[in-house]
Amino acid sequence: MKINRFVLNDTKKFLLVEFINSNSYQLPYEYLRVNSPNLKKVKGTKELVTHKKQVMLSVIECVAKHGYRLIFDDSHSSIYSHDYFAQLALEQEQRWQDYLTQLQHSGHSRE
């Protein structure tokens, strides 16, 4: 799915992603950061990112046909493709629950 526009909501810490088909999704900054496509895989499992509840999205840059580079205030940046944004939007509930479960089992927190 192609993206029509983004709307940043720094007060509520989410990025509204509106697709060309008029579907729109509110993706929290923390959710985007902990699901970065640049995360390393350890033993087939994605690296667990912790303590990102307060992370802010600083910049969105268009990277031609590749997608958009999101730059966060913790200095992390990654390129999110149109397809990856769609995947994050459609799988948000399950991915978020999986993340919270992993955090609980690891003994870490979002704080």
Going by C-beta distance under 8 Å and a sequence separation of 6 or more, which residues neighbour residue 52? 30, 33, 34, 74, 110
Tokens of 107: 């003994």
Share of the chain above pLDDT 70, in %: 96
The span from the CA of 78 to the CA of 39, in Å, is 9
Q: Is the pLDDT of residue 111 over 80?
A: yes
Beta-carbon contacts of 76 under 8 Å, excluding residues fewer than 6 positions away, are: 33, 36, 38
Quick one: three-class SS letters along the chain?
Answer: CCEEEEEEECCCCEEEEEECCCCEEEEEHHHHHHCCCCCCEECCEECCCCCCCCCCEEEEEECHHHCEEEEECCCCEEEECHHHHHHHHHCHHHHHHHHHHHHHHHCCCCC
pLDDT at 5 over 80: yes
Q: What is the mean pLDDT of the chain?
A: 94
pLDDT in tens, 29-80: 999 999 999 887 666 677 899 999 999 999 999 999 899 999 999 999 999 9
Task: Say what the pTM is.
Answer: 0.93
Q: Please tell me the distance from the alpha carbon of residue 45 to that of residue 54, in angstroms, as a whole number.
A: 24
